[in-house]
Structure 1
Amino acid sequence: MSSSAIDAEAPDLVCQLDNVQGMVDALSAVRWKRQQDAVIELSEHGIVLIVEESGCLQGKVYLKRELFMQYEYTAQGRPRFGVSLGLFVDCLNTFSVPGHSSLIEIRYPGPDMELLLKSVDSPDASIYAEIRTKIPDTISWDYNFEPAGSTPLSFTVKSAALKEAIDDLEWPGSSIQIKLQPDPPSVTFKGEGHGDLQIDLMYYVNTDLLIAFNCDHEVSYRYKYKFLRATTSNIPSSAIKENRGSKLTIGRGGMLKVQHLVSVARSSAPHPHIDSAGYQQPSRIAFVEFFVKPEEDEDTVND
């Protein structure tokens, strides 16, 4: 089918992105296994990609429309479609050239409901990809995240330190206890297996690692190690190098929310999002969010 015929189909979305590697980093952050299906939801505000496992773990990537150089949205409602996350990331990687910020166009749907990708700034050659989509098998589960009380139970820790702590607590098939207590203000990660391993982050003592802390009563919940590790296993190297922080919040019933910030800023030539002084607009950030359900444990201290 000719390009003019495709244009005549009036796609729901046509957008252009100038940092493919940033998008790859953000999507890879929620890729915790090789074979993984994702649901993509489009709206006038941007693109949301959702992945889930066992009704106990959910990962989301929010790509706000401000991240894109161009964002033309004409759909009614919010179209949703399924796609292989691995295939999507692999296709995007073919457009990513080290040291060069490629400009790509993303279009949906194609003539057979495909997700279409093509390079638009290469004078020598054009790269084009079609990704088959499918109707999502299920509707994403409602995590119903609510505050655990009047004071949020949350802490912000350097992403590198969080990943290192969870990696060090590896007890395959076991669980990790996360405990917050106001006096002394601290966060404890404890793993149980053939022995006990505990990591304490003391607020006011480790301010270089534990950046922020909010807690007015002791709370403790256990989470399956494999689900907890999925929230940090693919934190992008850019977030580590930029010394970013990750925020963890415990909601009502022990629901754990883990939030990372991933830069999608173009790092080479200047573009409209960076002014003459080199100031980078804060909108050039992708938000990555995980929700982890706690294990049922009568011995935990609940709110």
Structure 2
Amino acid sequence: MSSSAMEDEAPDVVCQLEHVQGLVDALGAVRWKRHQDAVVELSEHGIILIVEESGCLQAKVYLKRELFARYDYSAHGRRRFGVSLGLLVDCLNAFSVPGQSSLIEIQYPGPDMQVLLKKVDSLDVSIYAEIRTRIPDTMPWDYNFEPAGTNPLTFTVRSAALKEAIEDLEWPGSSIQIILQPVPPSVTLKGEGHGDLQIDLMYYANTELLGAFQCDHRVSYKYKYKFLRATTTNMPSSVTKENRGSKLTIGRGGLLKVQHLVTIGKLPSSHAHVDSVGYQQPGRIAHIEFFVKPEEIEDSE
């Protein structure tokens, strides 16, 4: 076989990842229903997994190439395929051993355009899986998030507190109103049903709970409860244990962006990355973003 023919058959991406449980946690965070399709985008910069529903909710998991112990990308441009999110998470979970680090190799495409998974850190145990892919029915919608005005409307809240607040505000079929106001600087979450329940987060009262608050005018938007709940319902326990914060930003037209950080795993000494100023990064972080469209504009002053 000629070298050119061998190159044509080379996979688009071959990557190796340690701490499979961290990847399971990150992908599971955007799994808000049992049967869910995802679009996977591959590039030289890493992997992005996208899920969306009803044109009102979209989530993205960013797996930058620095997360991987090995990342070889040989395709030109960006490659895209569809896959069952539940099947992908369940297959990855089979490679995860509680309390242990597992090294797996991910390859795409296989001979029949599959995703190939293989355990590569053990001579005693061999685990191999193939996941069928498909051509996506539609292209993921571009939410084109833009700031609402010259100054961003944003705040950071402890992830555990955000999850608890949203769960407390549950009213079947209802909406949650989010109000930001500069005087006094605060965030209000309000649910309505047979009554109403309101949670006030005051910026100066507890800066450890609510931080990075930026708001120069009062805004108020309503979001469908089931979509807002999806942003935290499967938040990994590692996020709450590490006492991480989630960042919420309201963009033009009331589009809400919710951002979480999930630790994939600590860097071993053999792969530790040292940045330009000499600080060693403590771990690998996956970035997760949710975009939620508002149900209606309550008021904006």
Q: TM-score range by the shorter chain?
A: over 0.9
* Mapped partners of 1:7, 1:131: distance in 2: 23
* Mapped partners of 2:300, 2:118: distance in 1: 51
Match of 2:135 in 1: 135
Match of 1:252 in 2: 252
Q: Percent identity?
A: 76
The aligned amino acid for 2:193 is G
Task: Give 1:266 deviation, angstroms.
Answer: 3.4
Task: Give 1:144 deviation, angstroms.
Answer: 1.4
TM-score by length of 2: 0.94
Match of 2:271 in 1: 272
CA RMSD for the aligned pairs?
1.7
Quickly say closer, same or farther: Cα 1:211–1:90, change in 2 above 3 A. same
Which stretch shifts more, 65-74 or 7-16? 7-16
Post-superposition CA distance 1:53-87 (Å, at most 9, x none): 00000000000000000000001111100000000
User: Would you say the 8 A contact 1:147–1:252 is kept in 2?
Assistant: yes
Task: Give 1:169 deviation, angstroms.
Answer: 0.4
Task: Give 1:185 deviation, angstroms.
Answer: 0.1
Aligned positions of 1:99-248 closer than 5 A = 99-248=99-248
Q: Which runs of 5+ in 2 are unaligned?
A: none
Task: Give 1:265 deviation, angstroms.
Answer: 1.6
Q: Which runs of 5+ in 1 are unaligned?
A: none
User: Would you say the 8 A contact 1:101–1:266 is kept in 2?
Assistant: no
* Mapped partners of 1:206, 1:6: distance in 2: 61
* Mapped partners of 1:190, 1:49: distance in 2: 31
Task: Give 1:280 deviation, angstroms.
Answer: 5.5
* Mapped partners of 1:85, 1:6: distance in 2: 31
Match of 1:9 in 2: 9
User: Would you say the 8 A contact 1:18–1:266 is kept in 2?
Assistant: no
* Mapped partners of 2:280, 2:228: distance in 1: 32
Post-superposition CA distance 1:210-244 (Å, at most 9, x none): 02200000000000000000000011111100000
Q: In structure 2, the residue corresponding to 1:135 is in which secondary structure?
A: coil
Q: In structure 1, the residue corresponding to 2:300 is in which secondary structure?
A: coil
Task: Give 1:296 deviation, angstroms.
Answer: 2.5
Which stretch shifts more, 135-144 or 57-66? 135-144
* Mapped partners of 2:105, 2:31: distance in 1: 23
Match of 1:301 in 2: 299
* Mapped partners of 1:115, 1:302: distance in 2: 47
The aligned amino acid for 2:26 is A
* Mapped partners of 1:154, 1:19: distance in 2: 32
In the alignment of these two chains, the number of paired residues is 293
1:55 maps onto 2:55 in alignment: yes
* Mapped partners of 1:137, 1:254: distance in 2: 28
TM-score by length of 1: 0.93
Task: Give 1:271 deviation, angstroms.
Answer: 4.0
Q: In structure 1, the residue corresponding to 2:122 is in which secondary structure?
A: coil
The aligned amino acid for 1:208 is E
Post-superposition CA distance 1:116-161 (Å, at most 9, x none): 0000001211100000000001011111110001110000000000
Post-superposition CA distance 1:243-264 (Å, at most 9, x none): 0000000000000000000001
* Mapped partners of 1:290, 1:271: distance in 2: 34
User: Would you say the 8 A contact 1:6–1:111 is kept in 2?
Assistant: no
Match of 1:38 in 2: 38
The aligned amino acid for 2:300 is N
Which ranges of 4 or more aligned residues in structure 1 deviate by more than 3 Å? 5-8
User: Would you say the 8 A contact 1:66–1:283 is kept in 2?
Assistant: no
* Mapped partners of 1:98, 1:194: distance in 2: 44
* Mapped partners of 1:199, 1:6: distance in 2: 61
Task: Give 1:208 deviation, angstroms.
Answer: 2.0
* Mapped partners of 1:30, 1:248: distance in 2: 16
